[in-house]
Structure 1
Amino acid sequence: MTAESYQFSSAQPLTEAYIHRTDSRIDELFGFHSGNEKDWEKRFNSLRSNSGNRASAVDVANVLRQYNERMNASECTMSSISALAEGAPVVVGGQQAGLWTGSLLVIHKAVSIIGAAKSASEQLGVKVVPVFWIAGEDHDWDEANHTYIITADQELKKLSTARPEGPRTSVSRTVISPEKWEQLIGELEQALPHSEFKPQLLEKLAQMARGSHSLSDMFAHILSHLFGHEGLVLLDADDPLLRELEAPMFRRMLEQNDELEAAYVLASEVVKELGFSLQAEVTPSSANLFLFHPDRGEERVLLHKRDGQYGDRKGISSWTKEELIQLASENPQQFSNNVLTRPLMQDYLFPVLATVLGPGEIAYWALTGGAFKTLGMEMPILVPRMSFTLVEGIVAKNMAKYELTFADVMEQFDSRKEEWLKKQDNLAIASKFGAVKTSFEEMYSPLIGLAASIQQGLAKLGDTNMAKILEQIEYMEAKTIDAHNKQFEASIRQLDRIQLSIHPAGKPQERVITMVAYWNRYGETWLQRLLETPNSRTGGHEIVYL
């Protein structure tokens, strides 16, 4: 395996300014910087002096132990949980569960979490635990229910599952039946190309499905299997036992809700004044908390403040602050965080040394600094996740054959493909047809002028007639070029395979293709190669040649 770097623009100016430190004005939004080694020591010392402001490490570890045991945790993971019980700091990051883990970026985030934890352990001389936060409380089924693979016919195929009947509750509370899992695995079997690893892969997934009641469960089983040897600890944000530990923080979020709202609004104004757009919506009068509505089958509704009470957006249901605080004490499983309060809950549960985030996440975390301070907390170090593109051997070979660089594929593939095809045109088809069209226009235009001199109305008819004839010449040209290009169908397939593998559907590989495609082709060796790639505390993109 070899690897090389590529400069990827995140399309998030605020994130780019944070990573590259190009705008000192944003320092106040973040506090620490992942690229500053001394900041890791400062944050670590700060965690040790503020341990009393968090949930009991022993209680959190007990909950995580039960959850990870259900996901067939490795000895390494259980050892990590024991370290958590003793107060070990963590590097945490997460993602919503997706079908067959969703796209590759989920794997990249897990690799980044593990790499950042190892790097911090080496620097600080203490055990730093990698934690993956499965956002099972989210209810956006359409984001979680699908993934893409490349079939044996070199086509991009979407695999998905419809949401079962019932209220729009969290992904973790949406039950997937054994029959549905059997169907989904059957569809995956049909779509995946044959390989020596395919039978074992399908059997492993079938085994996991027997212990999975939701997409979140299957997601956790897969991550546990892939990263257990690295000691990665998993949690489901919608775990009812975890919710019990979160009750005090939910109460604080309700008691100081107006102050938190003011902090978010102020931060959003600062971000806009600095010339950046908002990545997360800061809605006036939003409580930034969800409630699993007890009278609507646990439908997840966002709470809004209106006339001194809290209710759903439509104003159908309402509660007083006191009623919600009591509910948070007695039944915290009814509550759920949104993107702005989740960072606070994360820091309440764990001594978070650093959190690994994608570009969009870093941009919306910029809105949370004041909220941390409102609750007497401190924003952790934000670590940009690593990203990778996996380049298979046959793809790399074809790139060399057609003299394509990685940048060519990402930035100008269509033009480079067209350029190559034109070079194969030793008949000069385009230039010959072009000459005919030019010659025709030169000869025909005077005739139109002649006709118009006899009757003015013939000018428009002549122009229309000439356009139709030119259109027919162009049609013949296109058909001739297509016929000529058929001689190069094998080459075109090779070129298209390059694009499909590296830049599918015009998007980065990591945002489309599922890791199952590589598990099927290479077993688990490809993953080890990602784990062996040097970690960077400021992110970056690595091209990994398999």
Structure 2
Amino acid sequence: MLRMDEIDWNSGQPLTDDYIRRYAQTGELFDYNPWSASGWEQRAAWLDTERAYGADRGRLADALYAFNERAGNGLEALNAIERLRDPRALCVVGGQQASLFTGPLLVLYKAVSLIQAARQAEARLSRPVIPVFWIAGEDHDFEEANHVQVLTSDNKLEKIKLAHPGGPRTSVSRTVITAEQWEEALALFEQSLMPTEYKEGFVARLRAAVQGSSSLVDAFARLMASLLGGEGLVLLDSDDPALRELEGPMFRRLVEQSGELNLALAEGSSKLQSLGYEPQVELHPRGANLFVYDDAGERILLYADESGTGFTDRRGERRFSRDQVLRWADETPSRLSNNVLTRPLMQDYLLPVLATVLGPAEIVYWGQTKLAFHKLGMRMPVVAPRLVFTLLEGSVQKNMKKLELTLDDVMERLEEKQEAWLRQQDEWQVERRFAEVVERFKADYEPLVASLGQINPGLQALGATNIGKIVEQMDFLRNKAEDGLRTQNEAGLRQFARVGQSLNPGGKPQERVLNIAAYLNKYGEDWLFELVRANVPLDGKLRICYM
């Protein structure tokens, strides 16, 4: 049984921390209080009685079913999609980029959060609630998604990545990955995994996910389906052409009201600032908050032109008339794409969203969008913080106990604790004794040098240089002695490095850097399903999982 301790923590986002602990200070930026049952009930009631428009449920279910079937998703997920045809069915939605081999741990934690939140909401409301993972396939920042980081046997972080195959700066979903690229990345990834009883099966799962996958989105969906499809997790590619066909009417509204929406977003940002918080997303005064794909497939961010009759790219080199963009919305909506601030609006149009599960930074930029929702006659869904976990392996626990380290020590002051530990191992007291010798030397020698100035001023300057050189040589010897001390205590220093890189790799939270593969390879899957099936509230706390 996986033991968990829960602790309060600071996310690094003041607004998010206040949202979790002091909701009253932030509540006016959101529509529903996630910490009261009435907030969830009010949102469900609004969806039932006041949601004026949205995508056709039948066509939505058809598109989702086709995508999830192609991804090899589980029967439980396909059945969940069928439940979506029920007018009473609601969704809990959250997502992430389609990172290589699922990317950092937080991606899986968000998926676990969706499953937990949907299950809890279904019990609370006595109606179907479906977890939907929104794969941000329309994003074009390939460098953010094309890699995975692994911890080597000598406690170094190593990045395994796919090179961009070339071609236009298009969405991740449309960026084609060759079989040779997959094979190269998979071979490197396999080498990073230690031999265990689970390795062969896990590598086979990875290979099955990449075989026949033409993009990061394809492989990501297949791998997520193989891990969590049996828990009913429904997958959605935001750049799925079948979904784009459903989004046309909403794109038309976003184009027609782009100026008003940008003003609403600016007002939301100002409101956020008036409460003492910094906006996560910077707005451009003429931003349309939409992208178009040009004829070559490049994804281009739109800005209103000076005349207000059309749109341009950032440099004003390419122009698109308003009529042309509206025609695309009506006839070929796959030519259009959302940015980070209109994606929440499109998500709410496409799906009956009861709640959205967000990370700390996402909560901040959603705090900018409330007035934009209202401008379109919509309401923000319930905003729930995703679950946050830190995996504490048995070997790391032992090292921490031996080195007398707390979790706070590792996260906040590990280098300081390491230096203090190293001084404790120094029975010769190298640093103190060298400092005493330097002090005595200066006390005896500096008065002599000062007196030499009475003989010749040049001798005093020469003496000062002489002092510096002697002290420099003493420092050189001290450094060599300290290096020897480190070599003598190399085993202990490796334990410090192991603890630090396991829990705070590269000075960042574990969940933002390390991949799940090393843990599945070492411990199997049972611990992951314990996380999924445990009744963990989405309360914003950090949970330490003792492996």
**TM-score > 0.5 by shorter chain:** yes
Q: Which amino acid aligns with 2:395?
A: I
2:534 corresponds to 1:529:
no
Q: Measure the CA separation in 1 of the matches of 2:210 and 2:288.
A: 37
Q: Which residue of 2 aligns with 1:415?
A: 416
Q: Which residue of 2 aligns with 1:54?
A: 54
Deviation track 1:432-483 (CA, whole Å, cap 9, x = no partner) reads 1121111111111111111122222333322222122112112211211221
Q: Which amino acid aligns with 2:439?
A: T
Give 1:534 shift. Answer: 4.1
Q: Measure the CA separation in 2 of the matches of 1:400 and 1:533.
A: 28
Calculate the TM-score normalised by the size of structure 1. 0.97
Unaligned runs of 5+ in 2: none
Q: Which residue of 2 aligns with 1:44?
A: 44
1:8 to 1:481, Cα distance in 2 relative to 1, 3 A: same
Q: Measure the CA separation in 2 of the matches of 1:528 and 1:152.
A: 27
Deviation track 1:185-227 (CA, whole Å, cap 9, x = no partner) reads 1111222222222222122111111231101111111111111
Deviates more, 1:42-51 or 1:157-166: 42-51
Moved over 6 A (4+): none
Is the 1:152–1:192 Cα contact (8 Å) retained in structure 2? no
Is the 1:303–1:311 Cα contact (8 Å) retained in structure 2? yes
Q: Measure the CA separation in 1 of the matches of 2:403 and 2:534.
A: 27
Q: Which amino acid aligns with 2:41?
A: E
Q: Which amino acid aligns with 1:236?
A: D
Q: Which residue of 1 aligns with 2:78?
A: 78
Matched residue pairs, number? 543
1:22 to 1:441, Cα distance in 2 relative to 1, 3 A: farther
2:302 corresponds to 1:286:
no
Q: Which residue of 2 aligns with 1:375?
A: 376
For residues 89-100 of structure 1, what are the structure 2 equivalents within 5 Å?
A: 89-100=90-101
Q: Measure the CA separation in 2 of the matches of 1:407 and 1:528.
A: 28
Deviation track 1:73-124 (CA, whole Å, cap 9, x = no partner) reads 1111011101111131111000011111111110111111111111111211
Give 1:37 shift. Answer: 1.7
Q: Which residue of 2 aligns with 1:440?
A: 441
Q: Which residue of 2 aligns with 1:544?
A: 545
For residues 337-416 of structure 1, what are the structure 2 equivalents within 5 Å?
A: 337-416=338-417
> In structure 1, the residue corresponding to 2:489 is in which secondary structure?
helix
Q: Which amino acid aligns with 1:39?
A: G
Is the 1:91–1:116 Cα contact (8 Å) retained in structure 2? yes
Deviates more, 1:4-13 or 1:496-505: 4-13
Q: Measure the CA separation in 2 of the matches of 1:452 and 1:155.
A: 55
Q: Which residue of 1 aligns with 2:520?
A: 519
Q: Which residue of 2 aligns with 1:8?
A: 9
Q: Measure the CA separation in 2 of the matches of 1:27 and 1:500.
A: 37
2:134 corresponds to 1:133:
yes
Q: Which residue of 2 aligns with 1:148?
A: 149
Deviation track 1:230-261 (CA, whole Å, cap 9, x = no partner) reads 10000000000000000110011111122111
For residues 293-372 of structure 1, what are the structure 2 equivalents within 5 Å?
A: 293-294=294-295, 297-306=296-305, 307=307, 308-372=309-373
Q: Which amino acid aligns with 1:519?
A: L
> In structure 2, the residue corresponding to 1:347 is in which secondary structure?
helix
Q: Which residue of 1 aligns with 2:195?
A: 194
> In structure 2, the residue corresponding to 1:303 is in which secondary structure?
strand
Q: Measure the CA separation in 2 of the matches of 1:490 and 1:59.
A: 61
1:467 to 1:42, Cα distance in 2 relative to 1, 3 A: same
> In structure 1, the residue corresponding to 2:214 is in which secondary structure?
coil
Is the 1:35–1:537 Cα contact (8 Å) retained in structure 2? no
Q: Which amino acid aligns with 1:271?
A: L
> In structure 1, the residue corresponding to 2:72 is in which secondary structure?
coil
> In structure 2, the residue corresponding to 1:454 is in which secondary structure?
coil
Deviates more, 1:409-418 or 1:1-10: 1-10
Is the 2:40–2:354 Cα contact (8 Å) retained in structure 1? yes
For residues 24-39 of structure 1, what are the structure 2 equivalents within 5 Å?
A: 24=25, 26-39=26-39
Q: Which amino acid aligns with 1:65?
A: Y
Give 1:21 shift. Answer: 2.0
2:196 corresponds to 1:170:
no
Give 1:27 shift. Answer: 2.0
Q: Measure the CA separation in 2 of the matches of 1:367 and 1:316.
A: 30
Is the 1:157–1:191 Cα contact (8 Å) retained in structure 2? no
Deviates more, 1:298-307 or 1:116-125: 116-125
Q: Which amino acid aligns with 2:178?
A: S
Unaligned runs of 5+ in 1: none
Deviation track 1:137-158 (CA, whole Å, cap 9, x = no partner) reads 0000110111101123332111
Q: Which amino acid aligns with 2:300?
A: V
Q: Which amino acid aligns with 2:135?
A: I
> In structure 1, the residue corresponding to 2:44 is in which secondary structure?
helix
Is the 2:51–2:378 Cα contact (8 Å) retained in structure 1? no
> In structure 2, the residue corresponding to 1:147 is in which secondary structure?
strand
Q: Which amino acid aligns with 1:390?
A: L
> In structure 2, the residue corresponding to 1:453 is in which secondary structure?
coil
Q: Measure the CA separation in 1 of the matches of 2:394 and 2:420.
A: 24
Give 1:532 shift. Answer: 4.2
Q: Measure the CA separation in 2 of the matches of 1:152 and 1:431.
A: 35
Q: Measure the CA separation in 2 of the matches of 1:500 and 1:13.
A: 26
Give 1:396 shift. Answer: 0.6
Calculate the TM-score normalised by the size of structure 2. 0.97
Is the 1:518–1:526 Cα contact (8 Å) retained in structure 2? no
Give 1:533 shift. Answer: 4.6
